Amino acid sequence: MKKSILGLAVSALFVVGAAHADANPNDVPATLNVTGTVVADIADACSVTTDKQSVALSSDVNNLINQGDDATSITTVQLNITGTDCASKIESGAMAYKFTGATDSADGTVLANTDVSATGAKGVGVGIFTPDNKLVKVNSTDHVIASTSGNTIGLQMVKLNGATAEAGNVTSSVTIEIERL
In-domain check, residue 142: yes
Q: What is the pTM of this model?
A: 0.76
Residue 18 host element (H or E): helix 2-20
Residue 89 placed within a domain: yes
In a domain, residue 15? The reply is no
Do the domain assignments include residue 30?
Answer: no
**Residue ranges for the chain with pLDDT beneath 70:** 1-44
Q: Is residue 94 part of a domain?
A: yes
As beta bridge partners, residue 136 has 128
How many domains are there within the chain?
Answer: 1
Q: Is residue 172 in some structural domain?
A: yes
Closest of 106, 105, 144, 147 to residue 128, by C-alpha: 144
Question: Which pLDDT score, from 0 to 100, does residue 54 have?
Answer: 87
Domain that holds residue 97: 42-180
Asked whether residue 149 is domain-assigned, the answer is yes
Is residue 20 situated within a structural domain? no
- CATH number of domain containing 124: 2.60.40.1090
